[in-house]
Amino acid sequence: MPKLLTNGCSITLGAEMGETTRTAKEGWSYQHCDTDYRYRERWSTKLAEKMGMEPINLSRGGGSNWRIWRTTQDYLLTNPVDFAVIQMTEASRWQMPISFDFLDRWNPTSTVSSFFDFTHGGIYGHADNGRGHEEYSNWNYGEYHQLRSFQNDHRPNGEMVDENHYSAMKQEIDGYFLFNDQFHNYFDFLRHVLYLHYMFESNDVPHLIVDMLESIVICTYMKDELERITKLPPEVMLEKYRANQYELTYVVDEYDPSKDKDYLIWFEYIKRSNMSEKFNNLYNKVVGAKWFDGHPYRNYFSRITRDCPREGMNSMYLGEMPKGHPNEECHSIFAERMYNEITRRKLL
């Protein structure tokens, strides 16, 4: 049977579908997942049925675009694929090697005492090939900030909870995050899309790559900001920035009057390094591609998005699970949309 390869993050995994909270005999609660139900209801299975193919789903909850590229590449080395649909995730996510040093500094706790349980992460069934242990760990922007509390014991509801897995890695994690800049992550987002395309092209695999979490929207805002910085003298750009502290939300951040000197240097550096031209080249190559779908998929499962920042603006909204993942109706719409685009664009 022809193989449909899919990859992505928790969205493509089908997170929250089939999940229920249960209580063990000892009194503690845990999350149970009917992985067969999740398999049936997620978009990858529904799309495969429409295409008459067998679904191969490599996704992982919390996975980054780095992971999507890496695991797709590894899979293609030893497996035939007839068509691929890749769901790009939020660009701030990254991966950290599971090395001996990582293991050596990782602390077992009363919450998770086994390194193998810790690195497995998530609930994976037979259809997910028991996915869990990989050579990298998966991180994201929000998770990093949560780690600040996990570097020490804390007291939810007045009860001490031992979760300081990372106390011996604090400097490394903080240092890594210093250079894991959001601005450059969106350069990498566009490059990852192109890496995947060229990889599929070299393996003669027809494909569709979709933006599920508004990265291309952010890239559009970044493109505009970089162009403005490039066209205007640094002093003029700084005056505009002073007048509107949100003038450069993506290339810098909110205006801070104590950093005027650094802003001027940064604006000049953007000019000298031709960042705008480089970003435009990447952006135009991606958005104009037949195999890239920049449709606002997030609007289906998030009431508030960057394109619809206020309640009531989003007419596309269908519904979401309690923790914000797309529900069953959304997955059906995803599959229908993707199938129609594959057909309309004559990708197969």
Summarised one tens digit per residue, pLDDT across range 73-97 is 999 999 999 999 999 999 988 888 8
Contact 72, 58 (CB under 8 A): yes
Q: Is the dihedral of CA 108, 130, 94, 306 positive or negative?
A: negative
pLDDT computed for residue 95 by the predictor:
85
Determine the pLDDT at residue 163: 60
Residue 186 has pLDDT above 50, yes or no: yes
Residue 214, classed as helix, strand or coil, is coil
DSSP state of 306: S
The first and second tokens of residue 10, run together, are: 């928790």
Q: Give the chain's mean pLDDT.
A: 90
Q: Is the pLDDT of residue 152 over 90?
A: no
- Whether pLDDT at 149 is above 50: no
The residue-averaged pLDDT of 135-142 equals 76
Q: Taking residues 284-300, what's their average pLDDT?
A: 98
Give the mean pLDDT of 144-169.
57
Map out the domains of the chain as residue ranges: 3-214+296-344
Q: How many Å apart are CA 195 and CA 164, to the nearest integer?
A: 37
Residue of 291, 336, 300 lying closest to 319 (CA atoms):
300
SS (H, E, C) 90-144: CCCCEEEECCHHHHHHCCCCCCCCCHHHHHHCCCCCHHHCCCCCCCEEEECHHHH
Mean pLDDT of 115-127: 80
Task: Tell me 294's DSSP state.
Answer: -
At position 145, the amino acid (one-letter code) is H
